[in-house]
Amino acid sequence: MKFIEKIKLPRRFFVTGTDTSVGKTIISAILMVGLKASYWKPIQSGLSEITDTNWIRGVSGLSDAHFLPENYKFSKPISPHASAQSDGIQIALESFNLPAGDQDDQSSRLIVEGAGGVMVPLNERHLMVDLMKRLDLPVILVARSTLGTINHTLLSLEQLRQKNLEVIGVVMNGPKNEINKSAIETYGKTTVLAEVEMLSDVNSKTLQKAYDRYFK
């Protein structure tokens, strides 16, 4: 089957979410496999379960060259500011820098995944949105499709725009919900790029299929 490119995504972008466990990693995995992009999770909170980087490495089948190391890895699966404090570390915003790369070089595609949502504190002064601003990347917002998402999504969009960050659009994750989709587009003045439904199995094949279905 021949696909027509539906969404033109920038070469590098940041994937944030309306909440933790909203689907940032699985959406990043779908986009990574489809775009053959690299992945960077600058802050990983929680090491008892598999890290996001290692989970994507496992399911995507992409080589190690596609994965940048985290800047910070903290033991406890709690907010980065508290997890850092518990490990006796202070997150420094200045420590985050995008890898060098030619703007026009499509082979150096990069997906950066945040931790939690937009207003998650990193230290006493900075929030996750400040990290996005430092990297100055366009942003994809991952949102639940279910009840409650309109409020979370509109609040997150407002915060991103207040920081003058470019919002590429929203990816809704979960069972299709036309009312929520239409409210997010109308009141959020944005585009829902895709409505991704539950994958029953997650591996390189199903991720590629999901990319073709939802993003092409």
Ligand X SMILES: Nc1ncnc2c1ncn2[C@@H]1O[C@H](COP(=O)(O)OP(=O)(O)OP(=O)(O)O)[C@@H](O)[C@H]1O
Residues that bind ligand X (CB under 6 A): 17, 20-26, 52, 115-116, 173, 196, 198-199, 202
Count of beta carbons in the 10 Å neighbourhood of residue 1: 4
The verdict on whether 36 is a catalytic residue reads no
In the numeric block, which tokens belong to residue 216? 């092409």
Burial pattern 140-160, b for ≥16 Cβ within 10 A else e, equals bbbbbbeeebbebbbebbebb
Which residue, 56 or 168, is less far from Mg ion as judged by CB?
56
Cβ at position 85, least distance to Mg ion in Å: 21
Which residue, 70 or 185, is less far from Mg ion as judged by CB?
70
Which residue, 21 or 63, is less far from ligand X as judged by CB?
21
Count of beta carbons in the 10 Å neighbourhood of residue 169: 18
Beta-ladder partners of 112: 14, 40
Query: Which positions lie near Mg ion, rule CB under 5 A?
Result: 24-25, 52
Which residue, 46 or 101, is less far from ligand X as judged by CB?
46
71 binds, among Mg ion, ligand X, none (CB under 5 to 8 A by kind): none
Cβ at position 2, least distance to ligand X in Å: 26
In the numeric block, which tokens belong to residue 62? 């992409």
In the numeric block, which tokens belong to residue 135? 């990297």
Residue closest to Mg ion when measured from CB atoms: 25
22 binds, among ligand X, Mg ion, none (CB under 5 to 8 A by kind): ligand X
Indicate which residue of 2, 6, 8, 41 is catalytic.
Answer: 41
Question: What CA–CA distance (Å, rounded) separates 40 from 52?
Answer: 10
DSSP string, 16-53: EESSTTSSHHHHHHHHHHHHT-EEE-SEEE--SSPPHH
Cβ at position 149, least distance to ligand X in Å: 13
Cβ at position 113, least distance to Mg ion in Å: 6
Residues tagged active-site: 41
